[in-house]
Chain A
Amino acid sequence: SYELTQPLSVSVALGQTATITCGGNNIGGRNVHWYQQKPGQAPALVIYRDSNRPSGIPERFSGSNSGNTATLTISRAQAGDEADYSCQVWDSFVVFGGGTKLTVL
Protein backbone atom coordinates (compact mmCIF):
# COMPACT_ATOMS: atom_id res chain seq x y z
CA SER A 1 0.00 0.00 0.00
CA TYR A 2 1.06 3.57 -0.61
CA GLU A 3 2.86 5.28 2.26
CA LEU A 4 3.19 8.95 3.13
CA THR A 5 6.01 10.22 5.32
CA GLN A 6 5.82 13.41 7.38
CA PRO A 7 8.19 14.85 9.99
CA LEU A 8 6.85 14.42 13.52
CA SER A 9 7.34 18.07 14.36
CA VAL A 10 8.19 21.42 12.84
CA SER A 11 8.89 24.65 14.67
CA VAL A 12 8.63 28.17 13.32
CA ALA A 13 9.18 31.61 14.80
CA LEU A 14 6.18 33.88 15.00
CA GLY A 15 5.79 35.74 11.71
CA GLN A 16 8.15 33.49 9.81
CA THR A 17 7.45 30.81 7.18
CA ALA A 18 6.74 27.19 8.10
CA THR A 19 7.30 24.35 5.67
CA ILE A 20 5.78 20.92 6.23
CA THR A 21 6.72 18.11 3.88
CA CYS A 22 4.94 14.95 2.82
CA GLY A 23 7.00 12.31 1.10
CA GLY A 24 5.80 9.50 -1.12
CA ASN A 25 6.92 7.54 -4.14
CA ASN A 26 6.29 9.79 -7.16
CA ILE A 27 3.78 11.75 -5.13
CA GLY A 28 4.00 14.47 -7.73
CA GLY A 29 1.81 12.30 -9.92
CA ARG A 30 -0.99 12.32 -7.37
CA ASN A 31 -3.35 14.89 -5.91
CA VAL A 32 -2.33 15.80 -2.37
CA HIS A 33 -4.65 17.28 0.23
CA TRP A 34 -3.82 18.82 3.59
CA TYR A 35 -5.76 18.96 6.86
CA GLN A 36 -5.29 21.08 9.95
CA GLN A 37 -6.31 19.70 13.33
CA LYS A 38 -6.19 21.93 16.38
CA PRO A 39 -6.21 20.35 19.86
CA GLY A 40 -9.60 18.91 20.74
CA GLN A 41 -11.05 19.70 17.33
CA ALA A 42 -11.88 17.77 14.19
CA PRO A 43 -9.60 17.97 11.16
CA ALA A 44 -10.33 20.67 8.62
CA LEU A 45 -9.30 20.84 4.97
CA VAL A 46 -6.80 23.62 4.28
CA ILE A 47 -5.41 22.64 0.85
CA TYR A 48 -6.90 20.38 -1.81
CA ARG A 49 -5.45 19.09 -5.08
CA ASP A 50 -1.93 20.18 -4.23
CA SER A 51 -2.40 23.93 -4.09
CA ASN A 52 -6.04 24.98 -3.85
CA ARG A 53 -7.48 26.69 -0.81
CA PRO A 54 -11.08 26.13 0.32
CA SER A 55 -13.06 29.27 0.97
CA GLY A 56 -12.18 30.81 4.31
CA ILE A 57 -8.60 29.56 4.35
CA PRO A 58 -6.12 32.47 4.43
CA GLU A 59 -3.80 33.09 1.50
CA ARG A 60 -0.94 32.49 3.93
CA PHE A 61 -1.55 28.76 3.37
CA SER A 62 -0.16 27.38 0.14
CA GLY A 63 0.83 24.02 -1.27
CA SER A 64 3.04 22.49 -3.92
CA ASN A 65 3.77 19.01 -5.15
CA SER A 66 6.58 17.65 -7.31
CA GLY A 67 8.70 14.54 -7.58
CA ASN A 68 8.65 12.64 -4.31
CA THR A 69 7.64 15.52 -2.03
CA ALA A 70 4.54 17.60 -1.45
CA THR A 71 4.86 20.72 0.68
CA LEU A 72 2.50 22.78 2.78
CA THR A 73 3.78 26.31 3.36
CA ILE A 74 2.42 28.66 5.99
CA SER A 75 3.62 32.23 5.61
CA ARG A 76 3.68 34.80 8.41
CA ALA A 77 2.95 32.09 10.96
CA GLN A 78 0.59 33.00 13.77
CA ALA A 79 0.03 31.47 17.18
CA GLY A 80 -3.34 30.26 15.95
CA ASP A 81 -1.62 28.13 13.31
CA GLU A 82 -0.31 25.76 15.98
CA ALA A 83 -1.87 22.43 15.09
CA ASP A 84 -1.29 18.99 13.65
CA TYR A 85 -1.14 18.92 9.87
CA SER A 86 -1.77 15.77 7.86
CA CYS A 87 -1.35 15.12 4.17
CA GLN A 88 -3.61 12.75 2.26
CA VAL A 89 -3.79 11.06 -1.12
CA TRP A 90 -6.14 8.61 -2.78
CA ASP A 91 -4.77 5.12 -3.45
CA SER A 92 -7.85 2.94 -3.95
CA PHE A 93 -8.87 4.44 -0.63
CA VAL A 94 -7.92 7.42 1.52
CA VAL A 95 -4.32 7.35 2.77
CA PHE A 96 -3.06 9.77 5.42
CA GLY A 97 0.43 10.74 6.41
CA GLY A 98 1.32 10.35 10.06
CA GLY A 99 0.85 14.02 10.82
CA THR A 100 3.19 16.86 11.75
CA LYS A 101 2.87 18.95 14.89
CA LEU A 102 3.55 22.61 14.12
CA THR A 103 4.83 24.72 17.01
CA VAL A 104 4.92 28.51 16.69
CA LEU A 105 7.65 29.94 18.90
Chain B
Amino acid sequence: EVQLVESGGGLVQPGGSLRLSCAASGFTFSNYWMTWVRQAPGKGLEWVANINQDGSEKYYVDSVKGRFTISRDSAKKSLYLQMNSLRAEDTAVYYCARDYAGYLDLWGRGTLVTVSS
Protein backbone atom coordinates (compact mmCIF):
# COMPACT_ATOMS: atom_id res chain seq x y z
CA GLU B 1 0.00 0.00 0.00
CA VAL B 2 1.23 3.45 -0.91
CA GLN B 3 1.40 5.45 2.30
CA LEU B 4 3.24 7.84 4.56
CA VAL B 5 3.19 7.42 8.34
CA GLU B 6 4.44 10.14 10.67
CA SER B 7 5.64 9.67 14.23
CA GLY B 8 7.54 11.51 16.93
CA GLY B 9 5.10 14.19 17.95
CA GLY B 10 4.27 15.02 21.54
CA LEU B 11 4.32 17.60 24.28
CA VAL B 12 7.53 19.60 24.67
CA GLN B 13 8.46 22.66 26.67
CA PRO B 14 9.37 25.94 24.98
CA GLY B 15 13.01 25.81 23.95
CA GLY B 16 12.95 22.05 23.68
CA SER B 17 13.55 19.72 20.76
CA LEU B 18 11.71 16.98 18.89
CA ARG B 19 12.51 14.82 15.91
CA LEU B 20 9.67 13.85 13.62
CA SER B 21 9.88 10.86 11.33
CA CYS B 22 7.89 9.89 8.27
CA ALA B 23 8.04 6.32 6.97
CA ALA B 24 7.25 5.81 3.30
CA SER B 25 6.03 2.60 1.72
CA GLY B 26 4.58 1.36 -1.53
CA PHE B 27 6.53 3.66 -3.85
CA THR B 28 10.11 4.48 -4.82
CA PHE B 29 10.93 7.00 -2.11
CA SER B 30 14.20 8.09 -3.69
CA ASN B 31 12.41 9.38 -6.80
CA TYR B 32 10.53 12.18 -5.07
CA TRP B 33 10.94 15.52 -3.40
CA MET B 34 9.41 15.38 0.07
CA THR B 35 7.74 18.09 2.10
CA TRP B 36 6.66 18.90 5.65
CA VAL B 37 3.45 20.90 6.07
CA ARG B 38 1.95 21.98 9.36
CA GLN B 39 -1.45 23.11 10.53
CA ALA B 40 -1.89 25.05 13.75
CA PRO B 41 -5.13 24.43 15.66
CA GLY B 42 -8.03 25.96 13.75
CA LYS B 43 -5.72 27.42 11.10
CA GLY B 44 -4.83 26.76 7.49
CA LEU B 45 -2.02 24.75 5.96
CA GLU B 46 1.53 26.10 6.10
CA TRP B 47 4.48 24.76 4.13
CA VAL B 48 7.45 24.19 6.46
CA ALA B 49 10.29 22.64 4.48
CA ASN B 50 11.14 20.43 1.56
CA ILE B 51 14.05 18.33 0.34
CA ASN B 52 15.06 16.97 -3.01
CA GLN B 53 15.60 13.38 -3.97
CA ASP B 54 19.21 13.02 -2.80
CA GLY B 55 19.04 15.50 0.09
CA SER B 56 21.34 18.04 -1.54
CA GLU B 57 18.68 20.76 -1.70
CA LYS B 58 16.70 21.87 1.33
CA TYR B 59 14.38 24.83 1.73
CA TYR B 60 12.57 26.26 4.75
CA VAL B 61 9.88 28.77 5.59
CA ASP B 62 11.48 31.84 7.16
CA SER B 63 9.93 31.25 10.57
CA VAL B 64 11.83 27.97 11.09
CA LYS B 65 15.15 28.74 9.43
CA GLY B 66 18.04 28.02 11.77
CA ARG B 67 15.81 25.99 14.11
CA PHE B 68 14.47 23.13 11.98
CA THR B 69 16.41 20.70 9.80
CA ILE B 70 14.87 18.45 7.18
CA SER B 71 16.67 15.27 6.16
CA ARG B 72 16.02 11.90 4.58
CA ASP B 73 17.39 8.38 4.53
CA SER B 74 16.64 6.58 1.29
CA ALA B 75 17.82 3.22 2.64
CA LYS B 76 15.23 3.48 5.41
CA LYS B 77 12.67 5.19 3.14
CA SER B 78 12.25 7.83 5.78
CA LEU B 79 11.92 11.58 6.03
CA TYR B 80 12.83 13.52 9.16
CA LEU B 81 12.31 16.92 10.71
CA GLN B 82 14.61 17.89 13.56
CA MET B 83 12.98 20.72 15.48
CA ASN B 84 15.03 22.74 17.97
CA SER B 85 14.33 25.85 20.04
CA LEU B 86 10.63 25.14 19.82
CA ARG B 87 8.16 27.93 20.42
CA ALA B 88 4.48 28.01 21.31
CA GLU B 89 3.70 29.09 17.76
CA ASP B 90 5.18 25.83 16.45
CA THR B 91 2.24 23.97 17.99
CA ALA B 92 0.55 22.20 15.09
CA VAL B 93 -0.19 18.94 13.37
CA TYR B 94 2.79 18.16 11.16
CA TYR B 95 2.18 16.30 7.91
CA CYS B 96 4.71 14.80 5.59
CA ALA B 97 3.76 14.79 1.93
CA ARG B 98 5.11 13.59 -1.37
CA ASP B 99 5.83 16.36 -3.80
CA TYR B 100 5.04 15.56 -7.40
CA ALA B 101 5.94 18.40 -9.77
CA GLY B 102 4.76 21.17 -7.48
CA TYR B 103 1.74 19.58 -5.89
CA LEU B 104 1.40 17.22 -2.94
CA ASP B 105 -0.17 14.01 -4.15
CA LEU B 106 0.26 11.83 -1.07
CA TRP B 107 -0.08 12.85 2.56
CA GLY B 108 0.44 11.15 5.88
CA ARG B 109 -2.11 11.33 8.67
CA GLY B 110 -0.01 13.76 10.66
CA THR B 111 1.56 13.95 14.10
CA LEU B 112 0.67 16.51 16.74
CA VAL B 113 3.35 18.71 18.26
CA THR B 114 2.38 20.74 21.32
CA VAL B 115 4.80 23.28 22.71
CA SER B 116 3.74 24.31 26.20
CA SER B 117 5.06 24.63 29.70
Chain A interfacial positions (CB closer than 8 Å to B): 31, 33, 35, 37, 41-45, 48-49, 54, 86, 88, 90, 92-99
For chain B, the bracket of interface size reads 10 to 19
- Collect the chain B residues with CB atoms within 8 Å of residue A98's CB: 44
- Collect the chain A residues with CB atoms within 8 Å of residue B108's CB: 42
Q: Are A45 and B105 in contact (CB under 8 A)?
A: yes
Binds A, one of B9-17, B23-31, B45-53, B74-82: B45-53
Q: Are B103 and A33 in contact (CB under 8 A)?
A: yes
Interface of B is mostly: strand
Chain B interfacial positions (CB closer than 8 Å to A): 35, 37, 44-47, 50, 59, 61, 95, 99, 102-105, 107-110
Complex Cα–Cα for A96 and B102 (A): 12
Q: Which residue of B lies closest to A100 (CB)?
A: B44
- Collect the chain B residues with CB atoms within 8 Å of residue A90's CB: 102-103
Tell me which of A42, A44, A99 has the highest count of chain B C-beta atoms within 10 A of its own C-beta: A42
Q: Which residue of A lies closest to B100 (CB)?
A: A48
- Collect the chain B residues with CB atoms within 8 Å of residue A45's CB: 103-105
Complex Cα–Cα for A54 and B2 (A): 15
Tell me which of B37, B45, B104, B108 has the highest count of chain A C-beta atoms within 10 A of its own C-beta: B45
